[in-house]
Amino acid sequence: MELSSIRDLALVVLALVVTISSIYLCIMVGIFYKRVSVFLSAMNASALTVKQIADRAQAEVMIPLSQIGAFLQNINRTIAFFGNLFIKKEDKK
């Protein structure tokens, strides 16, 4: 057996090993993707549920609270306005 034939045989064996390893790796990646895709879809559903809860909390809690805060701020400004009117009238006398 010549050296070139041993080299060719080694290259063929190496190519077969690389091919089989690549096929095995693709199969494992496919199995991993199937398992992870179930987990990712569950995480996506959980994230959507949390987003819906946050949107509902904002609509039912935060917006009315900000409206009440704006209303109280306007009452405070009105009281200060009338308070300043009466103070100015007393200072003029």
Would you state the pLDDT for residue 92?
53
In this prediction, residues 45-56 reach a mean pLDDT of 92
* pLDDT range class, residue 2, cuts 50, 70, 90: confident
Q: Which residue has the tokens 């103070």?
A: 87
Please indicate whether residue 84 or residue 18 has the higher confidence score (pLDDT): 18
In this prediction, residues 15-19 reach a mean pLDDT of 96
* pLDDT range class, residue 76, cuts 50, 70, 90: very high
Q: How many CB atoms lie within 10 A of CB 15?
A: 10
Would you state the pLDDT for residue 41?
92
Q: What is the CA radius of gyration of the chain?
A: 38
In this prediction, residues 44-49 reach a mean pLDDT of 94
